[in-house]
Amino acid sequence: MMYRSPAPLSPAFEALALGAQFRDRIATVVAASPETIFEALHDVTPREMKLAWILGELRYLPSRLAGHMPAGDGRHPFLATLIESGTVILVGDVPGEMILGSAAQLHRVHQAPQRFANREAFDTFDDPGHEKLFISVRVAPTGRPREHWLVLEHATRALSGDTP
């Protein structure tokens, strides 16, 4: 049985992620304002997300040892790191929703991430050996005072049928 959260879907994310083969969505209730939630999103560092940081360090260790990727700085804000590495903001409707886009060979040890200067470069990128990754962070009302849904969703779309 598949459980779907009562948190609302995002029409903007649904349109961008159209055709994605892999998707995941996590929603939790947060007792904070949308502004506070997005401020925390801009400030949080990988080291503050301990399990995610450890898993990321293990995931990228082979690429770092092979010289394909520099060592990460767990004290630098996570969102800033993503944007500095070429991830683009596709939708920046803060404090409602932020949608990010990136592309790489996501299911390979050496992912060959692409750098995008802007939305147009991302939209027109179509290398068949890559996948596009869409990430949505959004806040929606729960219907209860001072509570909001924090919804984290990602979708991956292969740019060809041959992409691993």
Pick from 29, 25, 152, 148: nearest CA to 98 = 152
> What span, in angstroms and rounded, lies between the C-alpha atoms of 54 and 47?
8
pLDDT value of position 1:
42
38 burial (CB, 10 Å; 0-12 / 13-18 / 19+) is: buried
pLDDT score of 56: 77
Other CB atoms within a 10 A radius of the CB of residue 102 amount to 25
- pLDDT for the residue 4: 59
The H or E element containing residue 153 is: strand 148-158
**74: β partners:** none
Whether residue 87 contacts residue 154, with contact meaning beta carbons closer than 8 Å, is answered with no
Tell me the C-alpha distance between 121 and 147, whole Å: 37
Q: Are 76 and 120 in contact (CB under 8 A)?
A: no
CATH fold, domain 11-158, is Alpha-D-Glucose-1,6-Bisphosphate; Chain A, domain 4 (3.30.530)
- Sequence-distant (6+) residues with CB within 8 A of 93 are 12
pLDDT in tens, the chain (164 residues): 445 568 889 999 999 999 999 999 999 999 999 999 999 999 999 889 888 878 877 877 777 777 776 777 778 898 998 898 889 999 999 999 999 999 999 878 788 889 999 999 999 999 999 999 999 999 999 989 999 999 999 999 999 876 55
